[in-house]
Structure 1
Amino acid sequence: MPTPPTVLLCYCSCPDAVSAQRIAEALVRERLAACVNHLPGITSTYRWDGAVTTDSEALLLIKTTVARFEALTARLLELHPYDLPELIAVPVERGHAAYLEWVRANATG
């Protein structure tokens, strides 16, 4: 029996709720992600252009598969307003089997 595609949990920060919603809807509508959670009101501190900066952002938690990650990355780069958007993918080692299967079924090309 073949191994099912690995599920990924991806993190992406956005400058505001409007851009976060637009990106989330596109990724789910285009089946690049099965689900995207929005976490509003995060604060990010980072170095940019040689200065330490702190901004309010929204965080997206994107559920997808390894098979869809490259297409998701390309689309996110088209949609995102930042010059260098955060996109970090972590493989899901364990989870509710039925939920993980739902992710696989809904993040398909």
Structure 2
Amino acid sequence: MTSIVIAQTTVDDEEKAYDIARAAVEARLAAGAHVDARMTTFYWWKGEVRHEREYRVSFQTTDEKVAELEAWVHARHPYEVPQWIALTPAHASQEYLAWAVKETTES
């Protein structure tokens, strides 16, 4: 049975975040996408702790589309190692699932 997946990435440029979110929806790889307000991220990179201002992009997709969405995002992502986390909610309404399936399969 198909299920909802929330897939997330981060980018350090607001315009790039908007572009990736919108284009993924237009390509019908995601039924919707959220761009969260700017945040500060701390992480290890090449032996040192770094920090950047970033924007999280959360895509609402299906388990049938998540691998294709991942490849699509990574091909357009500005980072050498993009964050990619896919979460399957413990519960999603049947109406929301039906909407996500419809919006990722219609052309």
- Equivalence map 1:2-17=2 (5 Å): 3=1, 5-17=2-14
Aligned to 1:105: 102
- Identity over aligned pairs, percent: 28
How far is the alpha carbon of 1:96 from its aligned partner? 2.8
8 A contact 2:4–2:92 mirrored in 1: no
1:82 is paired with a residue whose SS is: coil
Instruction: Please point out which of 76, 88, 97 is paired with 2:85.
Output: 88
Q: TM-score, normalised by structure 2?
A: 0.92
* 1:14-54, Cα deviation, whole Å (9 max, x unpaired): 11111101111111000000000010211110000111001
Number of aligned residues: 106
Q: TM-score, normalised by structure 1?
A: 0.91
Q: Which ranges in structure 1 are unaligned for 5 or more consecutive residues?
A: none
How far is the alpha carbon of 1:78 from its aligned partner? 1.1
Q: Which ranges in structure 2 are unaligned for 5 or more consecutive residues?
A: none
The answer to whether 1:44 aligns with 2:41 is yes
How far is the alpha carbon of 1:95 from its aligned partner? 2.3
Structure 1 stretches of 4+ moved >4 Å: none
- Equivalence map 1:24-63=2 (5 Å): 24-63=21-60
